Amino acid sequence: MNTLLSAGLILLLGFAGARLLKYIRLPSVTAFLLIGILIGPHLLNLVTEEIFFASDFFSNLVLGVIAFSLGENFRLDELKRGMKQVMWISVTAAVGVWLLVSLAILAYFWIVRLPIYPALVLGAAASATAPAATVLIIREYRSNGILTEMLLKVVAIDDAWCLILGAMAIAVANALRADVFDTAIIFAGIGEIVGALILGAALGYAFSWLRRFVKSSEELLVFIFGFILLNVGLSITLKLSVLLSSMMMGIMVVNSARENYKFFEILRTVDSPLYLVFFILAGAHLDFGILIKMGVVGILYTFFRFVGKIYGAKIGARISGAPKIIENWIGMALTPQAGVALGIGLVAKTTFPEYGDYIFTIIAATTVLFELVGPLLTKISLIKAGEIAPSQ
Amino acid sequence: MHHPSSILGLAVLIIAGYAGAKILRKIHFPAVTSYLVIGIIIGPSLLNIIPHVVLGLSEVISHFVLGVIAFSLGESFGIRDLRASGSSVIWISLFEAACAWLIVTGIMIGYQVMSGLPVHPAFVMGAAASATAPAATVMVIREYRAQGPVTNMLLRVVAIDDAWCLILSAIAITFASGLSAGSMKISTILHMVIDLVLSFSFGAAAGLGLSYLSRMIHNREDFVTVTIGFIMLIVGISLKFNLSPLLTSMIAGICVTNVSRNSSLFFETIRGVDTVFFLIFFMLVGANLEIGILPRIGVMGMLYLIFRVIGKFIGVQIGALISHTEKTIRKYLAWGLIPQAGVALGVALSAKTMYPKYGGIIFTTITATTVVYELIGPLCVKFGLRRAGEI
């Protein structure tokens, strides 16, 4: 099987699968993941090695595209009123999960007399959400309303909180383990965020300035992809957060000129094959066998992450005086978990040689679960909030 | 595979190509030529700043892009338009391909005899000379929004002369290897006939399948996914079974044009997204051009360069006269047929593998002339279309 044949099959099977599973009301994201599992190396093995190796490339590109599009939701002129709520909800949802998951797992480790520091890292990973899956659900069902708007903003910025929590957790865990508190880890975490924001802002500024040279709509696409790739490439090279820098670039672009709105529209017309491939490859990488290794810790993680999201977000919504609909449903809409959590798992793997593998396995296993179930829960909460027609 | 550098590399490729084309436009370079030139500059021959991973994509990208272009060319073959000018397309393409073949072959034989070399490589070089380069031609037409009878004819001729080239080259290679080994292998021709039939039927089947599927697509986003997926599938399967991806994609495009009710949607969808691919494609072609080979072009290469063009001009004249086409087509069409690219290289490559003894010299000549034609060709296309008043 050659690369093009495999790529063609991925696109067409993804399309057909999403179509078929629509009949049982499964969202496309879930359909893509399932098709990915089906054609992945564990089952049909229709994905060539070349494409499989390109997964990394793809997922970075797609996360860049998603985060850039999320920037569109942060228009300063309409942001003033909602920003307080976004901040509160995103912070309490992230911190609530972190506290609950950390404490629950910590207690368990303490009872079974294991070292307790991995609990902190697991809690931090649990605080992350999955922008790509969330955006895709919203788009597929043309969800529209205050919950949708809030959700788009929260998934965009809570990655920043997750990164901070992750850095702190790893630093503290390291201190507990080796008795040295390495502030460098925290600084590195903050540097990753600040650096990403600076890079994204700078490129967003350059983007808006150079835009005047773009004449035709076909060129626009070349221009946008050039910038997104440049931003992602630089972020990776400089070890900055791809999600945050891309989002910052989007925010700069959307706020610098009204004509810039069209960039996001154009991107939307062409990006669906990218998402399809992204989720199919994510599915192909999902390792079902790992679910068995979840154990008590995995179950605690799953349960308390879910509870933490719902009540954490609720508290933030109540404090900031958000509408009742948001208070009730945003927590459940935030359940998908994906790459950001795995990223923390990966860092832990290298920082803690003894328990890193264990931490990573737990995060990977729960990600399998949350990736498959999360989009459904997001869809349900949007239906309950009345922002998706229930017939869908 | 090292990923960070591949993303950054791709970004540099796109941005350098885009910015370069913008700047070179000021001195009236068509975008294709700019991409090629910049590709050469940042490619391994000179600056060498394209990461290997990205260069490794060349083959996949070029197959895909050629498939996209061939598929889009199918759009010019609507039955209704063809009724008006169908026979002239066949005549002109046949003669421009055959004349280039005959004249280049004749000159090469003359040269080989004079310099005391065996004559058979001449046939293969002649066959390579019959090919043109759809991608470069289409790009120029699109960039300058050319419109008119010459443009329409050009789109059709570059689409089908690849079929002639395949036939001619199979005959030529059989003949040449027969002369060199003393025995003809008719099986080569038989293979070619089977390949052609298979390409046609597979392309048609795929086109019908796509037309059928299109009824189930309701939004534009899905159109992008399905169209791209289908083209990849067609090209992938063609490669797997050694069919010509150009022919199968084109036949599929023709089928879609004539069968599907909303066929224009397919082509519009492709046009909406393909600019990025074209840019990457031509940059990589430029990066892969072996400019180091130019000094070895020799007398043979020079003769090839000159007489291929003469063959194209004479062939167009004859074809146009026979089919009584308009004067502008007769006068200016041949300019559009000067580019030469992958198809010719393909002929040279199969010659190299099928009879290694003289394949090397054929390959060098064709590669070197392709470098020249790739760079000059788009300018000639632009010149011809401008003279015809269609730009």
Task: Report the gap between the CA of B345 and the closest CA in chain A (Å).
Answer: 21
The CA distance from A14 to A277, in Å, is: 8
Dihedral of alpha carbons A171, A172, A177, A182, sign: positive
Q: Does A178 touch chain B (CB under 8 A)?
A: no
Residues of A in contact with B246 (CB under 8 A): none
Mutate to test the interface with A, among B1, B2, B6, B7 (most CBs of A within 10 A): B7
Average pLDDT of span A109-120: 85
The CA distance from A335 to A67, in Å, is: 18
Q: Does A20 touch chain B (CB under 8 A)?
A: no
pLDDT-derived band at A198 (thresholds 50, 70, 90) equals: very high
Nearest CA in chain A to B21: A219
**Quick one: which of A145, A143, A194 has its CA closest to A389?**
A143
Answer for the pair B50, B287: CB distance below 8 angstroms, yes or no: yes
Which CATH number is A354's domain given?
1.20.1530.20
A147 CB-near residues (< 8 Å, 6+ apart)? A325, A326, A329, A330, A333, A381, A382, A385, A387
What percent of chain A lies above the pLDDT cut of 70?
99
Nearest beta carbon to residue A229 from set B10, B228, B233: B10
Helix, strand counts (H, E) of chain B? 16, 0
Mutate to test the interface with A, among B52, B225, B228 (most CBs of A within 10 A): B225
Q: Does A223 touch chain B (CB under 8 A)?
A: yes
Residue A347 has pLDDT above 80, yes or no: no
| Mean pLDDT comparison of A195-209, B186-200, B209-223, highest-scoring range | A195-209
Q: What is the CA radius of gyration of chain A?
A: 20
Q: Per the CB < 8 Å rule, is A229 touching B3? A: no
Q: Per the CB < 8 Å rule, is B229 touching A273? A: yes
Task: Report the gap between the CA of A181 and the closest CA in chain B (Å).
Answer: 31
Can you tell me whether residue B29 is helix, strand or coil? coil
Q: Per the CB < 8 Å rule, is A15 touching B230? A: no
**Quick one: which of B28, B3, B43 has its CA closest to B284?**
B43
Please tell me the total count of domains within chain A.
1
Q: Is residue A9 part of a domain?
A: no
Answer for the pair B377, B133: CB distance below 8 angstroms, yes or no: yes
Q: Is residue A278 part of a domain?
A: no
Which amino acid appears at position B316 of this protein? Answer: V
Average pLDDT, chain A: 87
The CA distance from A106 to A120, in Å, is: 8
Q: What is the CA radius of gyration of chain B?
A: 20
Higher pLDDT, B237 or A297: B237
Average pLDDT, chain B: 87
Query: Residues of B316-336 as b/e, b for ≥16 C-beta within 10 angstroms?
Result: bbbbbeebebbebbbbbbbbb
Q: Does A23 touch chain B (CB under 8 A)?
A: no
**Quick one: which of A343, A280, A341, A283 has its CA closest to A130?**
A341
User: Running DSSP on this structure, what letter comes out for residue B46?
Assistant: T
Element (H, E) at B55: helix B52-56
pLDDT-derived band at B184 (thresholds 50, 70, 90) equals: low
- Chain CA centroid to CA A11, Å: 22
The CA distance from B219 to B272, in Å, is: 15
Which amino acid appears at position B17 of this protein? Answer: G
Which amino acid appears at position B361 of this protein? Answer: I
Q: Does A213 touch chain B (CB under 8 A)?
A: yes
Q: Per the CB < 8 Å rule, is B233 touching A234? A: no
Which amino acid appears at position A83 of this protein? Answer: M
Higher pLDDT, B15 or A348: B15
Residues of B in contact with A222 (CB under 8 A): 14, 18, 275-276, 279
pTM given for the model: 0.88
| pLDDT value of residue A197 | 92
Q: Per the CB < 8 Å rule, is A15 touching B225? A: yes
Task: Report the gap between the CA of B11 and the closest CA in chain A (Å).
Answer: 5
Q: What are the two backbone dihedrals, phi and then psi, of residue B216, each rounded to the nearest 5 degrees? A: -90, 0
Q: Per the CB < 8 Å rule, is B18 touching A226? A: yes
Q: Is residue A30 part of a domain?
A: no
Residue B355 has pLDDT above 80, yes or no: no
Task: Report the gap between the CA of B273 and the closest CA in chain A (Å).
Answer: 7
Residues of A in contact with B6 (CB under 8 A): 57
pLDDT single digits (tens) B68-103: 988 998 888 888 777 777 788 889 999 999 999 999
Q: Residue A100's domain spans which residues?
A: 60-273+296-384
Q: Is residue A48 part of a domain?
A: no
Residue B177 has pLDDT above 80, yes or no: no
Average pLDDT of span A186-192: 82
Q: Is residue A206 part of a domain?
A: yes
Q: Is residue A39 part of a domain?
A: no
Residues of B in contact with A12 (CB under 8 A): 226, 229-230, 233
Q: Per the CB < 8 Å rule, is B8 touching A14? A: no
Q: Per the CB < 8 Å rule, is A15 touching B273? A: no
Q: Is residue A192 part of a domain?
A: yes
Mutate to test the interface with B, among A141, A222, A223, A241 (most CBs of B within 10 A): A222
The CA distance from A97 to A321, in Å, is: 21
**Quick one: which of A20, A18, A164 has its CA closest to A90?**
A164
Residue B181 has pLDDT above 60, yes or no: yes
**Quick one: which of A288, A364, A370, A382 has its CA closest to A336?**
A370
| pLDDT value of residue B2 | 43
Can you tell me whether residue B42 is helix, strand or coil? helix
Answer for the pair B154, B137: CB distance below 8 angstroms, yes or no: yes
| pLDDT value of residue B3 | 45
Q: Per the CB < 8 Å rule, is B239 touching A234? A: no
Nearest CA in chain B to A274: B225
Residue B170 has pLDDT above 80, yes or no: no
Interface of chain B toward chain A, CB-CB under 8 angstroms: 1, 3-12, 14-15, 18, 22, 60, 63-64, 67, 216, 220-222, 224-226, 228-237, 239-240, 271-273, 275-276, 279
Higher pLDDT, B76 or B307: B307
3-state secondary structure chain A: CCHHHHHHHHHHHHHHHHHHHHCCCCCHHHHHHHHHHHHCCCCCCCCCHHHHHCHHHHHHHHHHHHHHHHHCCCCHHHHHHHHHHHHHHHHHHHHHHHHHHHHHHHHHHHHCCCCCHHHHHHHHHHCCCCHHHHHHHHHHCCCCCHHHHHHHHHHHHHHHHHHHHHHHHHHHHHHHHHCCCCHHHHHHHHHHHHHHHHHHHHHHHHHHHHHHHCCCHHHHHHHHHHHHHHHHHHHHHCCCCHHHHHHHHHHHHHHHCHHHHHHHHHHHHHCHHHHHHHHHHHHHHCCHHHHHHHHHHHHHHHHHHHHHHHHHHHHHHHHCCCCHHHHHHHHHHCCCCCHHHHHHHHHHHHHCCCCHHHHHHHHHHHHHHHHHHHHHHHHHHHHHCCCCCCCC
Interface predicted TM-score of the whole assembly (ipTM), two decimals: 0.86
Burial class (CB in 10 A: 0-12, 13-18, 19+), B179: middle
Higher pLDDT, A177 or A296: A296
pLDDT-derived band at B1 (thresholds 50, 70, 90) equals: very low
pLDDT-derived band at A66 (thresholds 50, 70, 90) equals: confident
C-alpha count within 13 angstroms, C-beta hemisphere, residue B224: 18
Structural domains for chain B: 6-387 (1.20.1530.20)
Cα diameter, chain A: 66
Task: Report the gap between the CA of A276 and the closest CA in chain B (Å).
Answer: 8
pLDDT single digits (tens) A220-246: 889 999 999 999 999 989 988 888 899
| pLDDT value of residue A118 | 85
B13 CB-near residues (< 8 Å, 6+ apart)? B42, B50, B54, B280, B283, B284
Q: Is residue A171 part of a domain?
A: yes
